[in-house]
Amino acid sequence: PLDKDEIGTATWSFLHSMASYFPKTPSKQQSDDMTRFFNIFAQFYPCEPCAIDFQEDLKKHPPQTKSRDAFAKWLCERHNTVNVKLGKPVFDCSKVHERWKDGWAD
């Protein structure tokens, strides 16, 4: 079976990539569908304590899916919440597209 860190890193890679490639100006349908995706994802994420905390975090910070930039920033902040909980460094969210789509500038 995958361990918590392995599934975590794989999942963040998928989620941040999906956010960085989300439409810049999504339709209402796309925006609503992505919100629904996260609410369902949080129910079935295969690490129970992670999923429970993530569901609570989503209640406080509902998905921001009206634009690519808002969505990528929102997801980066959710990841940072987990980073803080685990004592990991906070990521600079202004660099999220560089990390997950465009490649580092330097």
Interface ranges with ligand FAD (CB under 6 A): 4-5, 8-9, 11-12, 16, 45, 49-50, 53-54, 76, 79-80, 82-83, 86, 88, 91, 96, 99
The three-state secondary structure class of 78 is helix
CB closest to ligand FAD, residue no: 8
Q: Which two tokens stand for residue 47?
A: 């690490």
Q: Residue 16: exposed, middle, or buried by beta-carbon count in 10 A (0-12, 13-18, 19+)? A: buried
CB 87 → ligand FAD: shortest distance, Å?
A: 10
CB 28 → ligand FAD: shortest distance, Å?
A: 26
Task: Please report where in the chains the tokens 């796309």 appear, as a residue.
Answer: 30
